[in-house]
Structure 1
């Protein structure tokens, strides 16, 4: 058991940290206020290989491991959680569907541009009536000659506003329920595929998160992932891995808030001394940092298990459950330490507090995580 990062991982961590400080931090507040992600920032992220970190160099990726990817997620999310989720949906949800279930032809045509920095992907599973209960998907796909015709809608589809490649889940046999679900690769611009306006949200406001309408969208048979009926399995496997990314995002949000609070308490004076001199402040920060460190180690454990091809799903659920709760507790605590200034939009801790909430909801609610964990315990 080694709790130390390798020299390569430390160098990459520093690269991610510097990028976040120099490229993201100056525009993070403006993106949040505008509720729009910067196209120029996406291009910069692509240029440094951020969209292909844990993917093979054979397909244009960086050839790094999942642990290194979590380092990127944390460093980006310390500064801006919207950047974190933009990376996460692309890397943890969209790309694995093709990488783990696609044919060689599909990998060359679609995975390569996704991981080499040419294109951005999204993941269309959630629907207005299918959230935690993904088996409630109603979008259908009917085979017509050499094409499938898809009809339905998706909601809260992150990255959809600027995605080039969509992974769409639809029922090819409605009578079989989840076992009748299939997964398809759909390209941007396909007739009948339309993306609505950005959904107004409490947090991660800069991220693209839209409703996707699917009206008589014709998809070639060769764009079916795996075979008919394995779509639900593909979705669940991708989500299991995605929870490691959300755990890392949660750690980043929390650590970023602590970093801002530390700077503030060392400067803010009340009753004749900086508030960092009060034991209440010291104890509060000590408690919060301890919990963040524990959450980080849980994320690393899950990432290492995935890298080692072990049964990582329960560990991923644990790290997401714990880290997301820590993110919410810590960001509230940091806002409290900053007082009225923490509540103002002048300081980034209020944004961190708003952003933290979604980590307990997306890619599996905290309640769903408890179901997975207790199931692994054979309760």
Structure 2
């Protein structure tokens, strides 16, 4: 009875939020879907997906939540953490739970663009009329032609190879020879990089970093989580994700999230937050002026809004709040703030600067 009452209360709050949004004449609000069934379906599938991931990937609840924010916003993710923390397991489990085609690309210095996008090969084909064999060109697709692509240790490949991935991330197409081929829908890139090893790596350029909607830091598990990892991974049981949704369901959830209304004052708050990352702005905090070379791009603003919409729905609300913006600010902006020499020398982190900005603009 308590659970039913809670569900009724949640549905009532969603209905009230929709009624308020529908009656508003605020031109700063987006157009949105008014079906309560869409919202209820979004919350149900997202919660089941989150539970499925946390049941297999232990001790990474925050990482899973931030991954879902990016996924349901339709963006790509950069995962940074030391080896052995379950990054590959997380991505593979996500693909299994969504019944999507999964591909893993291990980036190395000798990896070539053709190893990612595919190549054209010559094959023998029998002529249907004469029966004689003839040579024809056929395209052999590479691993990028999957719904979820894990780009493992992406910073180990050369910039030429990284650019092949960059085109797919931005355009959702790849160029092979003189033709352009579309990638499957939905299409998500989840790239990983190891912060410990710098030898033999090629730092991702700012243009490519900006293509990632979120940068998620994967931290080391706590003691109780390590005990759970022992219980779930070194025994005889084998854990496999159960299907939760399909690619069509995911595409529908993304459209539902994009339709969440955002009030004008929330947009203005996000704009102030973004502008505060730029050292040449009058209202920039002193630490930004001292330690930052370049601030976040307009893509950072888009990341703030789109992921805040998803978070609002996950929290059972149909309207975005300043709390949603401030919560997603860390993964949305940390890779878009470029430190100068003083910032690097003093060990300043983008997260500490984002914290300072949030404290000053509230």
Q: What TM-score, normalized by structure 1, do the two folds share?
A: 0.26
Q: What TM-score, normalized by structure 2, do the two folds share?
A: 0.27
Q: Flag the structure with more relative contact order, 1 or 2, with Cα contacts below 8 A and sequence separation at least 6.
A: 2
Larger Rg over CA atoms: 2
